[in-house]
């Protein structure tokens, strides 16, 4: 019951705050633009206090790259939206599933914030959108945040990465910046109706350059990023690295 109440309150907060923030975005910036993310971020950063969540962030200086970049991070839950806004650099849009656009006021605010919507059921259309993004991120000097697992996953491990983000980085010849959030499993588990207060460690890792890489290098780049992020996830979550120390 407690779980349902807290999650219900989270949804309500998202819906109501989106409804109140949307007119502000429209008045200040006039329409769909990444500039609205600043306003959205300010609102969302207050949410953590309602749920007793604390963020411990390291490596923010790694976001300080000139020009565009692809940011990739692990995706555990709808609560990630709070972790996202906690560290989101200016001029950064996210890639999201198109279903989000139809989520009432939340859809409206994601639209106004400039979220790039992809149809996950159609690889061709998703790739076309991503190819377009590769061009516009250079022209508009924006960073793009992608969840390369492609879906939420709250197991304490990473799902295999999809390659879209890395194709995008190579096509645009921009660096990849990995961001890792420690596992939520100790305080959040929908299967066990668990949602208490808790601490989330966040680490922004040093950028991985892609200058000179070609489409043939995308698989290697993906693996490299996956391995670094998985190691970091286990370290931040206090879980022993696999294959080491097991008898
Ligand atoms: C104010 C108060 C507000 C309160 C509420 C506020 C709310 C919100 C505020 C805003 C917050 C927004 C938050 C948004 C969060 C959104 C979270 C999500 O929705 S996550 C789900 C969507 N995201 C993704 O799926 C991204 C990761 N996926 C990918 O990158 C995929 O690769 C793809 C989607 C591009 C394609 O996927 P799929 O169809 O499954 O195909 P694949 O198997 O991945 O690829 C098939 C082959 O194609 C190759 N490929 C992929 N991309 C390209 C490319 N661009 N160019 C060339 N080739 C490409 C790929 O390598 C595969 O080939 P292979 O031979 O197998 O390697
Ligand atoms: C009038 C219609 C009303 C509809 C109301 C729907 C309300 C939804 C409201 C609030 C939810 C807050 C969500 C914040 C956004 C977080 C985005 C997110 O994390 O999406 C997860 C998703 O990307 C991964 O896809 P999978 O479903 O795991 O694969």
**pTM of the model as a whole:** 0.95
pLDDT at 136 over 80: yes
Residue 218 has pLDDT above 90, yes or no: yes
Residue 109 Cβ contacting ligand 1 at under 6 Å: yes
- Residue whose entry in the numeric block shows the structure tokens 């692809």: 70
Is it the case that residue 28 has pLDDT exceeding 90? yes
Q: Which ligand is nearest to the CA of 115?
A: 1
Question: What value does the mean pLDDT of the chain take?
Answer: 95
Cα 63 to averaged position of ligand 2 atoms, centre (Å): 26
**Residue 242 confidence (pLDDT):** 66
Ligand 1 close to Cβ of residue 22 (< 6 A) = no
Predicted confidence (pLDDT) per residue in 35-86, tens digit: 999 999 999 999 999 999 999 999 999 999 889 999 999 999 999 999 999 9
Both tokens assigned to 132: 């377009």
Q: Whose CA is nearest to atom 20 of ligand 2?
A: 78
Residue 102: left if φ>0, alpha if ψ -120 to 50, beta else—which one? alpha
Indicate which residue's Cα is closest to atom 16 of ligand 1: 96
* All domains of the chain in start order, with CATH: 2-236 (3.40.1130)
Distance 42 CA to ligand 1 centre (A): 26
> What whole-number percentage of the chain has pLDDT above 70?
97
> How many Cβ atoms are within 10 Å of 103's Cβ, its own excluded?
15
Residue 197 Cα to ligand 1 middle (Å)? 30
Ligand 1 centroid from CA 227, angstroms: 19
Q: Give the confidence band of 245 by pLDDT, cuts at 50, 70, 90.
A: very low
């Amino acid at each position: 019951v407690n779980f349902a109440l807290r999650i219900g309150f989270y949804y309500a907060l998202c819906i109501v705050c989106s409804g109140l923030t949307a007119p502000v975005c429209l008045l200040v910036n006039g329409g769909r633009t990444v500039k609205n993310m600043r306003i959205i971020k300010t609102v969302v950063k207050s949410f953590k206090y309602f749920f007793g969540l604390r963020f411990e962030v390291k490596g923010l200086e790694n976001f300080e790259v000139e020009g565009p970049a692809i940011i990739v991070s692990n995706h555990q839950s709808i609560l990630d939206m709070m972790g996202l806004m906690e560290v989101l650099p200016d001029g950064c849009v996210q890639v999201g599933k198109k279903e989000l656009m139809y989520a009432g006021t939340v859809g409206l605010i994601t639209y106004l914030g400039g979220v790039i919507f992809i149809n996950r059921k159609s690889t061709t259309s998703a790739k076309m959108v991503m190819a377009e993004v590769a061009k516009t991120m250079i022209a508009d000097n924006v960073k793009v945040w992608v969840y390369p697992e492609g879906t939420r996953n709250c197991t304490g491990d990473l799902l295999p990465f999809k390659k879209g983000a890395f194709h995008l980085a190579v096509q645009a010849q921009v660096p990849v910046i990995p961001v890792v959030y420690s596992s939520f499993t100790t305080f959040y588990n929908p299967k066990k109706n668990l949602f208490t207060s808790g601490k989330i460690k966040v680490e922004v890792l040093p950028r991985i350059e892609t200058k000179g890489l070609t489409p043939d290098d995308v698989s290697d780049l993906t693996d490299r990023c996956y391995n670094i992020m998985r190691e970091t996830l286990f370290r931040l979550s206090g879980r022993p690295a696999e294959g080491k120390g097991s008898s």
